[in-house]
Amino acid sequence: MSMFFTIAAFLLIVIVIFQIAKASEYVSVLKGEEQSFKQSNKVNGALMIVFLILGLIGVYWCNKLLYPRTTLVEGSASIEGEQVDHLFWITLILTGIVFFATQILLFWFAFRYQYKENKKAYYFPHNNTMEIIWTSVPTIVLLILIVYGLRSWFLFTGDAPKNAMQVEVTGHQFQWNFRYPGADGVFGKKYFRDIDPANSNTLGLIWKDNGALKQKADPACFDDIITGTLYLVKNKPVELLINSQDVIHDVGLPQFRLKMDAVPGTPTRLWFTPKYTTEEMKKITGNPNYTYELACDQLCGNGHYSMRAVIEVVTQQEYDVIMAKQKPAYFAAFPDKDPANQQPAATDSTAAPAAATAAVRTTRDTAALALR
């Protein structure tokens, strides 16, 4: 109903403007063209000042209304993203100064230098000094901003610190999958012909021998963990190894101020260091439902709007517990190979985490033996 009234109000405004324009034409015919021109000229000059004032009020009002809804309020959630925030504010201040200066002068000049009978326009066709100034100054400023931006870009996409954890991010219409290397710390090989979502192999991990392709199963795959949630550790660098299975997607990390394309056949990478856990951000923002998100920032099809994943930033201790509870993807596809299904579950609450950790550490060897 509110949409109906909005459309009706808009149409009514259009009709009113049209009628005023028609009435103005009739007045110009009755008063004479010259007299009508002088009158409309004064009205237009005054309206320029009105538009200027209303426009500045609108800018202030929109900023006051919408700024609290942005992620700028809480600041960057990654150490490296602080550079992006810094560059953004520098750019915003510079462009803001230019915007207000040019817009205020534009409307003021339209009012100040409106047509008058005894005033003659001064023609100013050329000035080399002014042209050099208004060409060189913006060029230098933009060059500085580009260099600053490239410096940050080379940092994010360069070599990650040696202590960085690695997570493989794979996008496909319309979902994200995250793979962890497991207890051996090595990502297993994968092959696109082995992709089989129906049998729990969404990434094409090489779990079986393939004589036709002369392909051997890769034991490093057996303990790899695949999740739908991205788990990160506070103050620990993480390197994302980014892939796509179908079309171009984009790993968008708005709270961390970073993004990177996921391109089919061309792996990309990105690293950063989370500053706050999810629980800390809930307190900082005062929002008990706050979540970090990974969104697809590249239009990738009719389900693009739903392609997002939750990011959980936790402490190292919490991360170790979470990973100990995760089952390797191999056991999800072959539950009969899972040692947990072949041995009685631990009843001692203190022994359970240790048993889970031990099971994960022996996954690769157990699965390799099972294939023989």
**CA 361, CA 372: separation in Å to the nearest integer?**
19
Q: What is the DSSP letter of 202?
A: S
180 in the same domain as 294: yes
Residue 194 falls inside a structural domain: yes
Q: How many CB atoms lie within 10 A of CB 109?
A: 11
170 and 109 in a common domain:
no
Number of domains in the chain: 2
Cβ atoms 287, 156 nearer than 8 A:
no
Tokens 């150490």, residue? 79
> Does residue 98 share a domain with residue 195?
no
- The model's pTM is 0.75
Tell me, yes or no, whether 80 and 173 share the same domain. Answer: no
CB atoms within 10 A of CB 333: 15
Distances (CA, A) of 229 to 4, 24, 68: 41, 64, 27
Tokens matching residue 331: 């056991």
Asked if residue 169 and residue 107 are part of one domain, the reply reads no
Provide the residue-wise pLDDT of the chain in tens; the chain has 372 residues. 677 777 888 788 888 877 776 666 666 665 566 666 667 778 888 888 999 999 999 999 999 999 988 888 889 999 999 999 999 999 999 999 999 999 999 999 988 888 777 777 778 788 888 899 989 999 999 999 999 999 999 999 999 999 999 999 999 999 999 999 988 889 989 888 888 888 888 898 988 877 666 678 888 888 899 999 999 999 999 999 999 999 999 999 999 999 999 999 899 999 999 999 999 999 998 999 999 999 999 999 999 999 999 999 999 999 999 999 998 988 888 888 877 777 565 544 444 444 444 444 444 454 444 443
